[in-house]
C-alpha cells in the first residue's frame, strides 16, 4: 500500500469515557477499542497524506485547550465530544473561536437514543456531523473533512 506525502494535519479529539470503548456498553458503542478505531483511521490518513494528532481526555478544559491550540497548527479537527456534546457551551465557543473546520462524529445514532442526547450544542459550530455508523463514522468524518478542507483551499 502506497502512502501519500503528508500535506494535511488533522487533530482527532475524543471526549469523556471513550477510553472505555470495547468494554462500555458494547451493544451501543461496539466492541472495538478506541485504539483500534484510531489505528484504522491512521491507515486511511496515511493513504490520503494526512498526519493525525490524536487525543482523548475526560476533562473538558483539556479538550477546549486542544481546540484553541489547533489554530495555526492543524488544518482540520475530527471530534467526538461524547457526553460533552449535549452540555458543553465551552467546546462550542472554542470551535467558534478558531478558523479550523471540524466534523463531529458519534459512534451511535444520538438522534435515536434518549431525548437528552438528541441536541448537540457543538454541531452548529462544525462543518458537519456523522453519527450512527460505529467506527466507520471516523473514516467518513475524515473523508468529509478532507472535502471541506479541499473546498476551502480551492
- Catalytic residue selected from 84, 86, 106, 138: 106
- Catalytic residue selected from 29, 84, 118, 138: 29
Q: Is residue 138 flagged as an active site residue? A: no
Alpha helix positions (H), 56-135? 60-70, 89-97
Of 43, 19, 30, 25, the residue nearest 134 (C-alpha): 30
- Asked if residues 9 and 73 have their Cβ atoms less than 8 Å apart, the reply is yes
Q: Is residue 29 flagged as an active site residue? A: yes
Which residue numbers are catalytic?
29, 106
Amino acid at each position: 500500500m502506497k502512502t501519500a506525502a503528508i500535506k494535511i494535519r488533522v487533530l482527532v479529539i475524543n471526549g469523556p469515557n471513550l477510553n472505555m470503548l470495547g468494554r462500555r456498553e458494547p451493544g451501543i458503542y461496539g466492541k472495538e477499542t478506541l485504539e483500534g478505531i484510531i489505528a484504522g483511521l491512521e491507515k486511511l490518513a496515511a493513504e490520503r497524506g494526512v498526519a493525525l494528532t490524536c487525543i482523548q481526555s475526560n476533562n473538558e478544559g483539556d479538550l477546549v485547550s486542544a481546540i484553541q491550540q489547533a489554530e495555526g497548527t492543524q488544518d482540520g479537527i475530527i471530534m467526538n465530544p461524547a457526553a460533552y456534546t449535549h452540555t458543553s457551551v465551552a467546546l462550542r465557543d472554542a470551535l467558534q473561536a478558531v478558523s479550523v473546520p471540524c466534523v463531529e462524529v458519534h459512534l451511535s445514532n444520538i438522534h435515536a437514543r434518549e431525548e437528552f442526547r438528541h441536541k448537540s450544542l457543538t454541531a452548529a459550530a462544525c462543518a458537519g456531523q456523522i453519527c450512527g455508523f460505529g467506527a466507520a463514522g471516523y473514516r467518513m468524518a475524515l473523508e468529509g473533512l478532507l472535502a471541506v478542507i479541499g473546498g476551502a483551499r480551492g
